[in-house]
Structure 1
Amino acid sequence: MTDLATRVDAPRAPLLRRAAPALLGYAAVRALGLLVLAVWSAARGKSAYTLLTARWDSLWYARVAGPGYGYEVRLPNGDVHSDLAFFPLLPWLERLGHALAPLSYADAGFLVSLSASLAAAAGIFAVAERVYGPRVGRYAVLLWAVLPVGIVQSMAYSESLFTALAAWSLYAVLTGRWVGAGVLAALAGLTRPVGVAVVAAVWTAGMVSFVRERGTRHTPGAHHRERTPVWRRALGMLLAPLGAAGYVLWVGHRTGRGPLGYLDVQAGWRNGFDGGYAFARFVADKFTSFPSALAGLGLIAGVALLIWLYVTGVRARQPLTLLVYTGVVLALALCASSYFGSKPRLLMPAFPVLLPLAGALARLRAPRSALVTAGLAVAAAVYGAFWLNGSGPP
Structure 2
Amino acid sequence: MRVGPGRTGHDDPATGSLSVASAPRRAWSAVAVFAAIRTLGLLVLALWSRLAGSDAHDLLSARWDSIWYVRVAESGYDFTLTAPDGRVLSDMAFFPLLPWLERAVTAVSPLGLGDAGLLISGLAGLLAAWGMYLMGHHLYGHRAGLLLVALWAAMPVGIVQSMAYSEALFAALAAWALYAVLRRRWVAAGLLASLAGLTRPVGLAVAAALWAGAVVEARRTRRPDARMLTGMVLAPLGAAGYVLWVGVRRGGPFAYLDVQGEWGNGFDGGLAYGKFVLDHLGGWPVVLAGIALIAGTVLALGAYAACVRGRQPLPLLVYTGIVMALALCSSGYFGSKPRLLLPAFPLLLPVALALSRVRRARAAAVVAVLAVGSAVYGASWLNGSGPP
Question: What TM-score, normalized to structure 2?
Answer: 0.96
Residue number in structure 1 paired with 2:8: 8
The alpha carbon displacement at 1:317 in A equals: 0.6
Q: Which amino acid aligns with 1:173?
A: V
**Percent of pairs with identical residues:** 60
Is contact 2:9–2:20 with CA below 8 Å preserved after alignment? no
2:200 counterpart letter in structure 1: R
User: Which consecutive unaligned segments of at least 5 residues does structure 1 have?
Assistant: 218-228
| 8 Å Cα contact 2:20/2:138 also seen in 1 | no
Residue in 1 that maps onto 2:97: 89
1:311 aligns with 2:319: no
CA distance in 1, matches of 2:68, 2:200: 14
Give 1:180's match in structure 2, choosing from 181, 188, 206. 188
Instruction: Return the alpha-carbon distance in structure 1 between the equivalents of residues 94 and 260 of structure 2.
Output: 10
Q: Equivalents in 2 of 1:5, 1:339: separation in Å?
A: 38
Cα offset for 1:299? 1.0
Is the 2:2–2:216 Cα contact (8 Å) retained in structure 1?
no
**Residues 1:211 and 2:206 are matched in the alignment:** no
Other-structure match for 1:250: 245
Tell me how far 1:341 sits from its aligned partner.
0.3
Which letter does structure 2 place at the counterpart of 1:266? Q
1:36 counterpart = 2:60: no
Asked if residue 109 in structure 1 is aligned to residue 126 in structure 2, the reply is: no
Question: In angstroms, what is the RMSD of aligned CA positions?
Answer: 1.3
Aligned to 1:159: 167
Aligned with residue 295 of structure 2, among 285, 296, 301: 301
> Secondary structure of 1:317's partner?
coil
Counterparts of 1:127-166 in structure 2, within 5 Å, are 127-166=135-174
Distance 1:77 1:155 in 2: 28
Which deviates the most, 350-359 or 10-19? 10-19
Q: How many correspondences in the alignment? A: 380
Shift in Å at residue 212 of structure 1? 2.1
2:226 pairs, out of 216, 227, 231, with: 231
CA distance in 1, matches of 2:52, 2:202: 35
Residue of structure 2 equivalent to 1:223: none
3-state SS of paired residue (2:269): coil
Alpha-carbon distance in 2 for matches of 1:164, 1:388: 23
Q: CA deviation at 1:292?
A: 1.4
Matched, 1:284 2:284: no
CA distance in structure 1 between the partners assigned to 2:40 and 2:232 by the alignment: 40
Contact 1:6–1:174 under 8 Å retained in 2: no
Query: Which residue among 79, 89, 94 is the counterpart of 2:87?
Result: 79
User: Structure 1 stretch 153-162 or stretch 203-212: which is displaced more?
Assistant: 203-212
Distance 2:326 2:8 in 1: 31
Kept in 1: contact 2:134–2:179 (CA 8 A)? yes
SS of aligned partner of 2:89: strand
TM-score normalised over the length of structure 1: 0.94
User: How far did residue 6 of structure 1 move?
Assistant: 4.6
Residue 363 of structure 1: aligned partner = 357
**Residues 60 and 83 of structure 1 are in contact (CA less than 8 Å); yes or no, is this contact kept in structure 2?**
yes
Q: Residue 391 of structure 1: CA displacement? A: 3.3
Q: What is the aligned partner in structure 2 of residue 321 from structure 1?
A: 315
Q: Distance in 1 between matches of 2:127 and 2:332?
A: 28
1:168 pairs with 136, 156, 176, which one? 176
Q: Deviations over 1:32-76 (max 9, x none)?
A: 000000000111111101100011100000010111111110124
Letter of the structure 2 residue corresponding to residue 188 of structure 1? A
Equivalent of residue 268 in structure 1, options 249, 262, 272: 262
